[in-house]
Chains A and B, each alone.
Chain A
Amino acid sequence: MAVTGMNFTLLLPELILVATGILLVLLDLFTEQKRVLVYAGLAGVLASLLALIPGFGTTASIWADMIQVDSLAGFFKIVFLAVTALALLVSLEYVERRQIQAGEFYALLIFATVGMFLMASSLNLLVIYLGLELVAIASYALVGLLKQDGRSVEASIKYLLVSSATSAVFLFGISLVYGTTGSLALPQIAQALAAGAASQPVLFAGMLFLLAGLAFKVAAFPFHMWAPDTYEGSPTPISAFLITGAEAAGFAALLRVFLVGLPGLADAWTTIFAALSVLTMTYGNVTAISQTKIKRLMAYSAIAQAGYVLVGLAVATGQGTAAMLYYLLVYAFMTVGAFAVIILVANSGAGEEISDFRGLSQRSPFFAWALVIYFLSLIGIPPTAGFFGKLNLFSAAIAADMTWLAVVMVINSVISAPYYFKVIRTMFLEEAAEAEPVRAPASLTWATAITLVVTILLGLVPDQVYSWVRLVAGAL
């Protein structure tokens, strides 16, 4: 008996990442030059990106149907690799300054990426769960790496407790779904649903558990309480990585589980997602207004943005999915970019309060203007990428006869403007305590430049990217 579909070529991106992670741990033992590790990690990410090419445009179910290679998986893998590469870049200086063990730091980052790959590229609940757990376990360690900082340790423990509890909820959901449908494979579950299993209350309970488990991972409203503390306490590059990468992976799993596996229960879960979406964006935005620490502000802003993305699941159409994907892509770049600026300010000796951004426009005009563009994009002001991201979600909601949801989105965008503008005002209108220019390391400049170009480019030529994303969403 052999494994059906033992295809190493299509699994190569994952294999390369695993090898890179192991290599980083080993390389760490032999070199004092920790920068080498970042370059090795970037090389691994690039190699993995190139290894995606053979699988481009093909749809295949490999390794006994455990791994699904399709354009949705390809899309998410590109997003994850971009986020990982940027996280490696912005970590370079940070890791040296904070004396974090570099080898393990970068290796865990890469391993977490493998977990995200598994979450996005499987139609099997078991593998999705394993991917989720891989991301989570790597993140617990990464979040708690600032061992001298009590907040980091607290963040790690909170994340560990909440996340393992929610993993249990998710597992319970899997067991209930498996119990009623007799399969862990999402297409088979959908078949069982179509054959009349949908009326079973057990399956409904299972769906609720799956929904709650994944909603925790994307920090949607009633399940968000771990997020602000975790994102505030963890090392800043890790906050950026979790907010963008891990959250996108959570949405990838949500898309797979609900659109592929449970379309038979769509009436129920679209209503739930619509409610979650409204609550999440309103809560995130209203709470963000009163924050004085930049990382907490970004955390609540991340909760609000998750609310916007949930609109795509609430409408549950191809257009909605495409809008979600586009927004996640845009969101990854603008958020990592904003965090690059936060890291720059923190590295320059100032803290992580919003007031520490005073006079940044004089101390470092390039980074100040970059942050302005990221924030305008987060609010959704044209011609930035964020505007088109929101516009797509907005029109998807209207096309699905959910105009009220679109209206709530617009109101929320207006609510969100003041707290972003507060930071901008601090940067431009208030005088800095010290006027000397901020020294920007090349790695941060590169990360900012790349994210800036992508944020502007996706705003100027959104159509090409959006038509690609439409294709990807159609393949789901």
Chain B
Amino acid sequence: MTYIAKPKLHHPSLTRNEVGKTRRDYEGAISTLCAGCGHDSISAAIVQACFELSIEPHTVAKLSGIGCSSKAPTYFLGASHGFNTVHGRMPSVLTGANLANRDLIYLGVSGDGDSASIGLGQFAHLMRRGVNMTYIVMNNGVYGLTKGQFSATADKGSVAKKGAVNNDSGIDLASLAIIMGATYVARSFSGDKQQLVPLIKAAISHPGAAILDVVSPCVAFNNHAGSTKSYDFVREHNETVNRLDVILGAPPMTAEYGPGEMVEVPQADGVTLRLRKITPDYDPSDKAGALSFIEEKSQAGELATGLLYLDPLPKDLHANMNTAAEPLNTLTESTLCPGSTVLETINAALR
């Protein structure tokens, strides 16, 4: 970490996006995480994605649980409201916030301890309900703040810094999210910004439960030989299924790819996802296929990354509940309170 304050002055030549903001307008406070921490790269990717999407920062609500990852929301989108909740329970707080105001963009940030250990239940139910949000797991397989204990995503057989071997099966959050009903499931690597930024953009554009499992090496406790969440290991075993471009507005014609090499998936709000296939025949709309592919790769010691599953017609919690189009937190007495005349009728029926 650094103690040098960020300069407040912006260089006048910085590029501005459609809402007149520079990339710096999406930054937050200086990170207090370790130098080289994967989480900082993910924060930077979030900043980049929001800048490129021309999001007004105050329309984002960023929520997290507890842990290194959950500290990260302080380090991006300083003009957004943030909520550092309790360990493993961010999903419920995010759900409630989303119920109160469906118009904001919800960004949930969590870690592997937060989501796969203490918060596994809330993680699963959040996906089940189809809460419209982007859920980013900064997954390093280890408890950083408490100095190096295994988390529930640590692979079986992986070795801790001090030599302990993990005997428990690792939880694959991407597979779990698919099973639980998430409608956008992707995996990436904090060291691959080219892949990560478009995946975040697509997740934010997705009108349903979107989850990104981002392997994010812990330089302090899980970046050694024997770890399956180290920079070296992930680089060597990364099996990318596709590359994604997020296109705002009408997609330009393209002739770079041969037939079957590229798929365009239109999203709500005029966004188009363009998938360039790397693994031939990988179809992210095939739920069962996605699950078996992830498992096959896992058994081969490889990590499947990219857009793993996408439901092109997602339905979110509000759609399921037929909630009013205007945010519930804006409704007033005249809409909410039935008044004294109705109460008299109720009284009369109780006599």
- Verify that A and B bind, or say they do not: no
